[in-house]
Structure 1
């Protein structure tokens, strides 16, 4: 009986100690690779999925400008308040996309970061 207790105690201790590691929470959490945001890699898909239906090569639905090229999107950020328009609350006057759901905060942050990083193609 005494041997069984020692064996079970040893087994439990082994499982406990070997089950623990020296990993920290940061080791267990996948971190985003922070890189520079670029138009072709990060922004074009946001524009294509959310803006091109109205802001295509030939704007429709009353859109005043096209966003179908890097140069036009860059100009919209620099001169047409694109970041302000996509950052407005859904339903607010001038909010984009017009009548659609607001972009995810993650997508808005990418556009802001793209601007901060220098609007690289």
Structure 2
């Protein structure tokens, strides 16, 4: 009986102390949202890690163009539907990377932000 009361008391203390009254600022991401995304600082790495295996200097596996330079990637965003292709649902026809896993939404959002920021080099 004494053990049951002790366990109940300890459990109550544990529950009460695990609850906090965090403010909203404690719960939100404090990373500035308006930092400019640049090709050199962000986008080149995304392209190199996900696209270059087919969109290299000499495109392979049916890739229609190279994505090895700032000018190539900028043109792909503005004129060749790159944002549409990387934003398609997993398994959709034409989804990129072809035959792979859809990029994480946060990565796609960085490419969108790069476009919105003016395609900064």
* TM-score normalised by length of structure 2: 0.77
- Distance in 2 (alpha carbons) for counterparts of 1:82 and 1:62: 15
- Distance in 2 (alpha carbons) for counterparts of 1:118 and 1:90: 28
- Structure 1 unmatched ranges of 5 or more: 1-19
Q: Structure 1 residues 28 and 39 mapped into 2: Cα distance closer, same or farther (>3 Å)? A: same
Aligned length: 101
In the other structure, the counterpart of 2:25 is 26
- Structure 2 unmatched ranges of 5 or more: 1-19
What displacement does 1:120 show?
0.4
What displacement does 1:44 show?
0.8
1:109 aligns with 2:113: no
- Distance in 1 (alpha carbons) for counterparts of 2:72 and 2:31: 29
In the other structure, the counterpart of 1:56 is 56
Q: Which has the larger radius of gyration?
A: 1
1:25-104 alignment runs, 5 A limit: 25-27=24-26, 29-34=28-33, 35-104=35-104
SS in 2 for 1:78: helix
* TM-score normalised by length of structure 1: 0.77
What displacement does 1:90 show?
1.3
Please list every run of at least 4 consecutive aligned residues from structure 1 whose deviation after the TM superposition is greater than 6 angstroms: none
Could you say what the CA RMSD is over the residues aligned between the two structures, in angstroms?
1.7
SS in 2 for 1:90: coil
- Distance in 2 (alpha carbons) for counterparts of 1:102 and 1:81: 16
